[in-house]
Each structure stands twice: as structure tokens, then as C-alpha cells.
Structure 1
């Protein structure tokens, strides 16, 4: 994925969807992981870029949070192609030891 998947991408997510910094960081990380996997490009035939992510997140219902929008998109990809559940954002209640 383009190098813009970093701080610039996080700022773009903030401008488009709001949410807290931690959520934006997690969504950006999941987007990088998805891009690095090559799965999206193989399945969809389109390179995963920041504009592609934003475009797809805009399709999600307006009342969803950023993380929910991401998960909504991953759910759609899961239904269409399979193998996208691993890119969902999940809350981990564990702590450090």
C-alpha cells in the first residue's frame, strides 16, 4: 500500500470519519496488513490504496463508528470472497502482564 497509510492516512480518516486516535491507528494498521497480504488485489483486481479504503468506508451506513465501518466493509469482503475476518477490528480486554 502506498506510504500514505500512516500518519497522513490517519489524518484523512479523522477528516472523513472522526473517531479517536487509537481507533484511527488500528484501522490504518489493519489496512496496511490487508494491503501487505495481497488478498484484496488478488480478489478484487485493484490495488488497495488510501483512496480505495476511504471510498469503501463511505459506503457504510452513516451511523457507524470508524471501526464499525471498517468491520462492515470486511464483512462484505468476507461474504464475497472469504478470508477477511482476520482483518476485522476486535476489542481485546486482556492486559499486559
Structure 2
């Protein structure tokens, strides 16, 4: 696995703030995206923690979930088929 969930969760909060609930749901979606192979097939690169952080850094201000949805929306426009990786709801637990 190229996504290290524990480290990604910490990096998301360090870089973008937000709650544990927000960072955890982004991590779950990132793992699902990596496992699907769709990103690698479309972009030709492996999805890693560094890629997620770099891509979310390009997003406008916002919590990790906002940034994730912005990036997923960009991938949806560019390639299609990414809507299922968007975040609709999550439990906001600290």
C-alpha cells in the first residue's frame, strides 16, 4: 500500500487543520482511491501520501474534506469516474 493511513491522517491535520473526523474520512477515501487503481491508470503515477498532500495544497482554503472534494472534482472534470470518491457526509468526531 502506498498510502500510509496513520501518517496521512497526521499530515492532513498538521497541514490543513480540521478535526480528526475530517482527516479520517479523507484518509479512508484516499485508501479507496489508491486501491481502485483508477488514479494510477489515469494519471500514470502512484497515489502516495505526498501526492495527496501536494494536491490538497493547491486547493483553496478549507478543511481537509473541502480540499479533498475540490481535488476529486478536478479529477472528475479531467477524467470522469471520480465522483464516488467524493465526501458527502462524515461524523465530526474529535
Per the TM superposition, whether the score is higher than 0.5 is yes
- Structure possessing the higher relative contact order (Cα contacts under 8 Å, 6 or more residues apart): 2
After the TM superposition, which parts of structure 1 deviate over 4 Å for at least 4 consecutive aligned residues?
none
Structure 2: distance between partners of 1:59 and 1:30:
18
TM-score by length of 2: 0.91
CA contact (8 A) 2:59 2:70 kept: yes
Task: Quote the offset at 1:36 in angstroms.
Answer: 0.1
Instruction: Give unmatched runs, 5+ long, in structure 1.
Output: none
Query: What residue in structure 2 maps to residue 46 of structure 1?
Result: 45
Larger radius of gyration: 1
Query: What residue in structure 2 maps to residue 89 of structure 1?
Result: 87
Query: What residue in structure 1 maps to residue 32 of structure 2?
Result: 33
Q: Deviations over 1:50-86 (max 9, x none)?
A: 0000000000012x22111000000000000000000
Say if 2:66 is the partner of 1:68.
yes
Structure 2: distance between partners of 1:14 and 1:65:
9
Structure 2: distance between partners of 1:3 and 1:31:
7
Task: Quote the offset at 1:92 in angstroms.
Answer: 6.2
CA contact (8 A) 2:32 2:85 kept: yes
Query: What residue in structure 2 maps to residue 17 of structure 1?
Result: 16
RMSD: 1.5
TM-score by length of 1: 0.88
Task: Quote the offset at 1:3 in angstroms.
Answer: 4.9
